[in-house]
Amino acid sequence: MKNFLDNYIVMHLCKVEAGFPSPADNYIEEKLNIEEYLIKNKESTFLVKAAGESMLNVGIFPGDILVVDRSLEVKNQSIVIASINGDLTVKRISQKNKLGEIYLQSENIDYPDIKLNEESNIMIWGIVTHSIHHLT
């Protein structure tokens, strides 16, 4: 992993049109350090591999590598890695009503949300900041 993170990749600072390209765009090149782009706090960041389909509608697919930062504050609508009775899951933290009820929300209607309460044995491990997804 160290060799990968030390490599810089040339980044072309231009828009990539999904339709027809514009010949008038200015193309500026710079080097992009993948580690600096993906990781803001190295000491508190870790990677996990996604499994399952509960977060498909937010763009997290089975096999994706998730970048997780433990130093970030959990807020309403944060996507988090949580430990539920010792099992890790990725879900969205959601306050769904005015009663203050908090849920771990799936982003796929085929998977139920998990209501948190005082008896819940849940620990938040960190906030998902990026999902690395293969297109091939």
* Residues classed as catalytic: 54, 91
Query: In angstroms, how far is CA 98 from the centroid of its own chain?
Result: 27
Exposure string over 93-105, b if 16+ CB within 10 A, otherwise e: bbeeeeeeebbbb
Instruction: Determine the Cα–Cα distance for residues 136 and 129; give it in Å rounded to an integer.
Output: 22
Instruction: Determine the Cα–Cα distance for residues 129 and 68; give it in Å rounded to an integer.
Output: 6
CA distances from 37 to 11, 56, 93 (A): 12, 24, 24
